[in-house]
């Protein structure tokens, strides 16, 4: 075959369709448009929830080898750790025996004083246990995923704690799982109370995600390293008195009127597997108000349905007196 008769043009597959640059520009514009729609009208939230529900069994299945490996390691090290834990528990039990007796006496005295002064009883917070599945795959945030969702009664804003203190807050709820934003996240905020000075402040997550930063504290504020910070209970979400963090750095600079104060959370999220999800305080107050209103309504309905007392007239009273006097005369 002569060389001049060969077709040197590229196949139709490479000649059809837009160019690579046009595709890149089109898909980039489409991505920006979808992000704007999601940020303004939250159109992708139902789709995200459906995808999370569909991928939940796959995620649990992928976690099976990891859980099996951890279980095998825990089984091999379980005997030694159990003996150490038993020894520590016995030592702690001996140390806390006298403290327990004093605590019971103080609680009884506190109850009597509250009843005497008519104070509000201590807040009883509803809670349920949960397990941390994995950390959210977002390098710009500090979030974890737990195995409880809306089907178990979880709501947005529920506090999450462990045995050491506050971990964070539920910020996204799915059907079978939820996302918890840790206190060290840059978008997290929590009102605090200094247990030593009783000074209230607001802490936000640091930019590097390593701890907390107390904003807008005066340069002459009474703050020292090692001070314990607890929840103040003023936000209507966290119950008061929960340990949150300890002051780790205090810088007082002369070029500004505010001090730079950093704190480290008392509950490290990297070493936690099981957590406790609390019910927000404002929901408890709402339930109590609704129960009180229902009780008042039922009492009012019972009072309205009771028969009204009959009024006696003067004639009936005179007739009764006459009957009584006739009865006495007959006896004589």
pLDDT higher than 80, residue 152: yes
pLDDT at residue 4, rounded to an integer? 57
Residues 106 and 151 in one domain: no
| Domain assignment of residue 96, given as a range | 32-112
Residues 172 and 76 in one domain: no
d(CA 231, CA 239) in angstroms, rounded, equals 7
Please check whether residue 328 lies inside any domain of the structure: no
pLDDT digits (tens, 9 = 90+) for 100-145: 778 878 888 887 776 766 544 455 678 899 999 988 888 788 899 9
Exposed / middle / buried, residue 279 (Cβ in 10 Å: 0-12, 13-18, 19+) = buried
Residues 143 and 100 in one domain: no
Please check whether residue 329 lies inside any domain of the structure: no
Q: Final residue of a domain: which of 61, 84, 112? A: 112
Angle subtended at Cα 238 by Cα 232 and Cα 241, rounded to the nearest 5 degrees: 45
Please, which pLDDT band fits residue 230 given cuts at 50, 70 and 90?
very high
pLDDT digits (tens, 9 = 90+) for 19-59: 788 889 999 999 888 888 888 887 778 888 888 888 888 88
Residues 171 and 273 in one domain: yes
Cα–Cα nearest to 52, from 180, 185, 173: 173
pLDDT digits (tens, 9 = 90+) for 55-83: 888 888 888 888 888 888 777 777 777 88
Please check whether residue 60 lies inside any domain of the structure: yes
Please check whether residue 301 lies inside any domain of the structure: no
Number of structural domains in the chain: 2
Residues 168 and 274 in one domain: yes
pLDDT at residue 329, rounded to an integer? 46
Please check whether residue 258 lies inside any domain of the structure: yes
Locus of tokens 């966290």 = 238
DSSP 3: G
Residues 251 and 179 in one domain: yes
Residues 136 and 278 in one domain: yes
Mean pLDDT, all residues of the chain? 80
Cα–Cα nearest to 243, from 138, 135, 303, 166: 166
Phi and psi at 182, nearest 5°, equal: -75, 160
Residues 147 and 245 in one domain: yes
Please check whether residue 216 lies inside any domain of the structure: yes
Ranked by mean pLDDT, the top range of 40-54, 65-79, 259-273, 318-332 is 259-273
Residues 144 and 290 in one domain: yes
Residues 177 and 251 in one domain: yes
pLDDT higher than 80, residue 216: yes
Q: Final residue of a domain: which of 81, 112, 143? A: 112
Average the pLDDT over each of 56-60, 80-84, 274-278, 287-291 and give the range with the smallest value: 287-291
Please check whether residue 1 lies inside any domain of the structure: no
pLDDT higher than 70, residue 283: yes
Residues 205 and 91 in one domain: no
The domain that holds 273 is classified in CATH as 2.40.10.350
Please check whether residue 11 lies inside any domain of the structure: no
Instruction: Please give the C-alpha separations between residue 229 and each of 163, 180, 192, 222, 328, in angstroms, as whole numbers.
Output: 16, 21, 6, 13, 84
């Amino acid at each position: 075959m002569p060389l001049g008769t060969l077709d040197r043009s590229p196949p139709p597959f490479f000649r059809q369709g837009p160019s690579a640059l046009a595709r890149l520009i089109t898909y980039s514009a489409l991505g920006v448009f979808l992000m704007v729609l999601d940020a303004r009208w939250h159109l992708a939230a139902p789709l995200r929830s459906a995808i999370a529900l569909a991928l939940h069994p796959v995620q649990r299945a992928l976690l099976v080898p990891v859980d099996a490996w951890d279980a095998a390691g825990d089984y091999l090290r379980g005997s030694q750790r159990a003996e150490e834990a038993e020894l520590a528990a016995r030592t702690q039990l001996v140390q806390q025996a006298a403290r327990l007796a004093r605590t019971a006496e103080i609680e009884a005295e506190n109850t009597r004083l509250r009843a005497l002064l008519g104070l509000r009883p201590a807040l009883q917070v509803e809670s349920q246990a949960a397990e941390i599945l994995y950390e959210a795959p977002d390098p710009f945030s500090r979030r974890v995923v737990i195995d409880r969702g809306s089907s178990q009664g979880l709501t947005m804003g529920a506090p999450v704690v462990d045995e050491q203190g506050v971990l964070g807050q539920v910020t996204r709820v799915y059907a079978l799982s939820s996302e918890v934003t840790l206190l060290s996240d840059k978008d997290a905020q929590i009102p605090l109370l200094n247990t030593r000075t009783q000074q209230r402040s607001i802490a936000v997550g640091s930019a590097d995600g390593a701890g907390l930063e107390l904003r807008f504290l005066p340069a002459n504020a009474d703050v020292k390293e090692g001070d314990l910070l607890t929840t103040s209970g003023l936000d209507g979400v966290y119950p008061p008195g929960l340990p949150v963090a300890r002051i780790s750095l205090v810088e007082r600079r002369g070029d500004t009127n505010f001090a730079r104060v950093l704190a480290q959370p008392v509950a490290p999220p990297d070493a936690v597997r099981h957590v406790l999800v609390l019910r927000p305080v404002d929901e408890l107050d709402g339930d109590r108000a609704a129960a009180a209103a229902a009780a008042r309504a039922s009492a009012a309905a019972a009072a309205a349905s009771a028969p009204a007392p009959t009024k006696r007239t003067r004639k009936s009273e005179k007739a009764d007196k006459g009957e009584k006097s006739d009865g006495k005369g007959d006896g004589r």
